[in-house]
A and B are shown apart, each in its own frame.
Chain A
């Protein structure tokens, strides 16, 4: 079967750095996405990785290792507005997205 694993919840301090991990087992791989979802709102796109390595976009970076079936999202200089759920999704061989359950990130002052 297909499976995306992420921690259920993480807590971090304002101004700090946090790394959210995602491991996956899917039928085929055509890219990995990270989305942010604030409570009661729609998911919004953060990053896309299709090749191994690190993609940096401002305070957010995403890393991919296809051989290990592993990705992480790195958030730097955390702000209170970063409190949200972070969703990992993998595009499989049918070009459909398989989604993890999301990681709820709690930022404390």
Chain B
């Protein structure tokens, strides 16, 4: 692995189903982030983690949960998917929280029907 990987690449999901989007980085970055990107809107932060074992809520956290059991992995779970969660989801990481650029994974395109 080099950088950040996300899985799946794309997914079509029935409303009401549970779904976990996976994110793994091998850069030993402390901070990780989940964003959603919708047409005409900027990237919006869902949840973040400044270091393993800690998580925080971003701008649009409702309907999503995260965990950070170790440095490398930061899964995003939709407990009961709704059509408004149709979006492209990007995971990102950075060495720290100040002054550092964020590195992005390739994204997961999720469609909820």
Query: Footprint of B on A, CB under 8 Å?
Result: 4, 30-31, 33, 41-45, 48, 50, 87, 89, 91, 95-102
Out of A31, A41, A43, A87, name the residue touching B99 (CB < 8 Å). Answer: A31
Besides A42-B105, A45-B101, A101-B42, 17 new A-B residue pairs in contact (Cβ under 8 A), listed by A number? A30-B98, A30-B99, A33-B101, A42-B90, A42-B104, A43-B43, A43-B90, A45-B103, A48-B101, A50-B99, A89-B43, A91-B98, A96-B48, A96-B58, A100-B42, A101-B41, A102-B42
Out of B43, B58, B101, B105, name the residue touching A87 (CB < 8 Å). Answer: B43
Q: Is the CB of A101 within 8 A of B107?
A: no
| Residues of chain B contacted by A96 (CB below 8 angstroms) | 45, 48, 58
Complex-state Cα separation, A102 to B105, whole angstroms: 18
Q: Is the CB of B40 within 8 A of A43?
A: no
Please tell me the size bucket of the interface on B. Answer: 10 to 19
Q: What is the minimal beta-carbon distance from A80 to any residue of chain B, in angstroms?
A: 23
| Residues of chain B contacted by A31 (CB below 8 angstroms) | 99
Contact with A along B65-95 (1 / 0, CB 8 A): 0000000000000000000000000100000
A98 nearest CB neighbor, chain B only: B42
Q: Is B54 close to A, CB under 8 A?
A: no
Q: Is the CB of A99 within 8 A of B106?
A: no
Q: Is the CB of A97 within 8 A of B106?
A: no
Out of B42, B99, B103, B104, name the residue touching A4 (CB < 8 Å). Answer: B42
Complex-state Cα separation, A17 to B40, whole angstroms: 25
Q: Is the CB of A99 within 8 A of B44?
A: yes
Out of A4, A30, A45, A98, name the residue touching B102 (CB < 8 Å). Answer: A45
Q: What is the minimal beta-carbon distance from A102 to any residue of chain B, in angstroms?
A: 7
